[in-house]
Amino acid sequence: MFSPNSPAHLLLARQRISTACVALVFATSMIGTLRAEEKPVSILAAKIGGHIHPSICRTRDGTLVVVYKGKNVLMVSRSTDGGATWEQPTPIATTARRPDVLREVQKFEVYPGTADVLPDDRVLVTWNYIADDKAKDGYYERALLYTLSSDQGRTWTEQGLIGPVEGKHLGAVRHNVLAMPDGRWLLPIRGLPPRMFDPKSGATEPFPLAGPDRKQHAYQQIVRTAKGTLVAMGPVFLRSTDEGRTWSPVENFPAVPDGDSAEGRYLTTLADGGLLVTWGVGNANKGLHYNYSADDGRTWNATVTLLPETHAMARFYSARTVQTDDAHVGSVFMNGDGVHFLKVPIARLVRDAPKN
């Protein structure tokens, strides 16, 4: 035995303290490492720019499907482990084909829309094929197209056409497509009021959506909460509890559009009845911003910002969030370095949410 004050005993004590400190530092660093919001996973790690617009959805078996624009074709990547790893992105071949209704031009663009899961578990992807001969003779058409997958994003149907209406193609779909109980799809369309589309007949018709100002707003994202409430987000934020017959405004919505008509915001309905908005502002946005509502969109908690030092382009579609399991959501976002996925504990986002 060493004397308590002997040099050997003091040296041993210092070694034990040093070892404990190292262990504490290691444990602390591991806690930091395991924080979901500090660990985005790259789906595409490459310098990118332009209309990439990643979109995300989740099928019944938990497969996550991300779709974004490649070189004039939409690309798809899948994850079967909750977003921890992602398959090598592959082209959705049908999205590269020029639709027969458009004439062949030298200048064209495949412009991404959205990825959604229909009630029968099929994945629905929308996009535009833009044919541009404005410099030649003023010709410019923006056909709205869709394709479906019945096997969690592995294979895809031939493209289908939505519209045109009165000889005019409809243009871009914004945010999600909402499947209605009668089998029709509710489409938020750029520059126009939303429209209902019947995939069986091909017919479309306007979907009236006006608040107290009596204006038919464009750029709306429309979702149905677990309680059956319809919530519409655009230049104004509206709720309807009677299937869209009447709408009422919600005051103090935290992610208020700032000249972008809500293009950089995204609503996510949660299985427990909660509602989440993921948002940012512009192309120079830093971080991912979240607000949670526990009372069907009436009131919202304070903003939770994750990745505050990370560049996240928020204009047009990015970031988008989907519930990945009972305890987590996952957000897909883009910046100049690629397309990335962030898995976040729901508990991290719902703190201090007011409840009625």
Q: Is the CB of residue 232 less than 8 Å from the CB of residue 253?
A: no
Q: How far apart are CA 339 and CA 55, in angstroms?
A: 10
Distance between the two ends of the chain, CA-based, in angstroms?
Answer: 66
CA distances to 7, 8, 13, 17, 18 from 4, rounded to whole Å, are 9, 9, 10, 15, 18
Identity of residue 268: T
Instruction: Kindly report the pTM of this predicted structure.
Output: 0.87
Percent of the chain with pLDDT over 90: 65
Give me the pLDDT at residue 168, please: 87
Q: Is the CB of residue 144 less than 8 Å from the CB of residue 137?
A: no
Q: Is a pLDDT exceeding 50 seen at residue 6?
A: no
Place of tokens 């939505």: 162
Q: Is the CB of residue 175 less than 8 Å from the CB of residue 221?
A: yes
Give me the pLDDT at residue 215, please: 79
Give me the pLDDT at residue 354, please: 55
Give me the pLDDT at residue 353, please: 56
Give me the pLDDT at residue 31, please: 33
Q: Is a pLDDT exceeding 90 seen at residue 310?
A: yes
Evaluate the omega torsion of the peptide bond into residue 319 and state whether it is cis, within 30 degrees of 0.
yes
Percent of the chain with pLDDT over 70: 86
Confidence of residue 234 (pLDDT cuts 50, 70, 90): confident
Give me the pLDDT at residue 214, please: 82
* Mean pLDDT along residues 240-249: 90
* Mean pLDDT along residues 102-116: 94
Q: Specify the length of the chain in residues.
A: 356
* Mean pLDDT along residues 84-112: 96
Give me the pLDDT at residue 8, please: 44
CA distances to 72, 99, 286 from 77, rounded to whole Å, are 16, 24, 25
- State the virtual CA torsion across 164, 167, 172, 177 in degrees, nearest 10: -30
Tokens encoding 4 = 């308590």
* Residues paired with 117 in a beta bridge: 123
Give me the pLDDT at residue 86, please: 98
Confidence of residue 352 (pLDDT cuts 50, 70, 90): low
| Largest interatomic CA distance in the chain | 98
Give me the pLDDT at residue 219, please: 62
Tokens encoding 108 = 């064209």
Q: How far apart are CA 226 and CA 280, in angstroms?
A: 25
Q: Which of 197, 81, 344 is nearest to 206 (CA)?
A: 197
Q: How far apart are CA 346 and CA 328, in angstroms?
A: 5
Q: Is a pLDDT exceeding 70 seen at residue 102?
A: yes
Give me the pLDDT at residue 286, please: 93
Q: Is a pLDDT exceeding 50 seen at residue 126?
A: yes
Give me the pLDDT at residue 20, please: 39
Question: Which residues does 78 contact at the CB level (< 8 Å), separation at least 6?
Answer: 63, 64, 65, 66, 86, 87, 152, 153, 154
SS3 232: strand
Of 15-24, 160-169, 326-335, the range with the highest mean pLDDT is: 326-335
SS (H, E, C) 273-286: CCEEEEECCCCCCE
Worst-scoring range by mean pLDDT, 7-21, 245-259, 336-350?
Answer: 7-21
Give me the pLDDT at residue 35, please: 53
**Phi, psi (deg, nearest 5) at residue 240:** -140, 130
Q: How far apart are CA 276 and CA 287, in angstroms?
A: 16
Give me the pLDDT at residue 175, please: 83
Q: Is the CB of residue 90 less than 8 Å from the CB of residue 68?
A: no
Q: How far apart are CA 36 and CA 32, in angstroms?
A: 9
Confidence of residue 29 (pLDDT cuts 50, 70, 90): very low
Mean of all residue pLDDT scores within the chain: 86
DSSP-assigned letter for residue 87 = P
For β-strands 338-345 and 41-45, DSSP reports them as: antiparallel
SS3 130: strand
Q: Is a pLDDT exceeding 90 seen at residue 2?
A: no
Worst-scoring range by mean pLDDT, 5-19, 33-47, 124-138, 252-266?
Answer: 5-19
Give me the pLDDT at residue 79, please: 98
Q: Which residue has the higher pLDDT, 334 or 317?
A: 334
